[in-house]
Amino acid sequence: MTVTLDDIRIAAERILPHVHRTPILSSAQLDAIAGCELHFKGEHLQKVGAFKARGAHNAVFALSEEQARLGVATHSSGNHAAALALAAKRRGISADIVMPSNAPQAKVDAVKGYGGHIHFCEPTLEARETTLAAVRAEGGQTEIHPYDNDQVIAGQGTTGLEITEQLAQTPPDVVITPVGGGGLLAGTAVAIKSLWPQCQVLGAEPSGADDAQRSFRAGRLIEQTGPDTVCDGLLTSLGVRNFALIQQHVDDILCADDSTIIEAMQLIWSRLKQVVEPSAAVPLACVLAHPERFAGKRVAIVFSGGNLDLAKLPW
């Protein structure tokens, strides 16, 4: 199985009542600084403050009645946890979320606020997987993986589909999204390449967690070990389904270091007046780090999310 434009169109219709059609933002001052024409898709203004609401709602509302009755489960310490809890609440089913004991309080509160059942475990991947397996063995819940899941990828792809509608009058030369597990990049690439074959699609990654770039260039999945970056949303390795779609549809993956990412984040906050998380600033950082590549181009960028601890800013 793979994800196609049709899957993304079905996802768009399915999640329409539950998510926001986020706006495209721009700033003449930022364009002057970057030397190109920038259009930002504001997924930090999405439900739960991140594009993750799209994939979670698509996966939850795609379940059969029989599946849905048993609820859903996942392990996540990030935005997917809150998104899945909200989607389950909207469908009136239960969500069991396995979270590491050191998960930020804000994320725990968000999941609780949407009525998710939290199962704390040790902060290791093994403990998370074992705990999730135990929860599902008892309750029979469907696992909704944060990114390595076709319905999740199709849901995230609705971001790209909306870009093709919102920028239809003047299509961009390049679309850039952050890449962590690869759900947003893979889904967006399918939508963009299906409708705008000439448009480049790029992934943007922190230099300190560059498994996607290394995997893409080597032609085989290379696991992320010991990531070192302020981008807490991009620490994970690429998913298998995601990598296959990225190999097929993405043109390149660029990197930027943390100091450029923080500079980009400050530009977004001070010029666009938008609160985005570090991960969301990586595409602009890649533009700033490779000015020759983007000079004079029309560039669409996805702001992936806006959730962060305001008391612990990276500057």
**What is the contact surface with a copy of itself in residues (CB under 8 A)?**
23, 44-45, 49, 266, 269-270, 273-276, 306, 310-311, 313, 315
Indicate the residue among 30 and 245 with the shorter CB distance to a copy of itself.
30
Question: Would you say how long the chain is, in residues?
Answer: 315
Q: What end-to-end distance do the CA atoms of the chain give, in Å?
A: 44
Q: Minimum Å distance from CB 310 to a copy of itself?
A: 6
- Six-digit token string for 17: 């009542």
CA nearest 156: which of 59, 233, 282? Answer: 59
Q: Minimum Å distance from CB 45 to a copy of itself?
A: 6
C-alpha torsion sign, points 199, 275, 25, 154? positive
CA nearest 302: which of 152, 192, 194, 169? Answer: 192
- Six-digit token string for 51: 């594009």
Indicate the residue among 234 and 265 with the shorter CB distance to a copy of itself.
265
- Six-digit token string for 142: 């469907």
Indicate the residue among 68 and 84 with the shorter CB distance to a copy of itself.
84
**CA–CA gap between residue 224 and residue 220 (Å, rounded):** 13
- Six-digit token string for 170: 């003047």
C-alpha torsion sign, points 158, 234, 245, 301? positive
Strand partners, 37: 298
Indicate the residue among 125 and 313 with the shorter CB distance to a copy of itself.
313
Indicate the residue among 31 and 251 with the shorter CB distance to a copy of itself.
31
Q: Minimum Å distance from CB 213 to a copy of itself?
A: 28
Q: Minimum Å distance from CB 49 to a copy of itself?
A: 7
Q: Minimum Å distance from CB 166 to a copy of itself?
A: 15
Q: Minimum Å distance from CB 2 to a copy of itself?
A: 34
Indicate the residue among 218 and 310 with the shorter CB distance to a copy of itself.
310
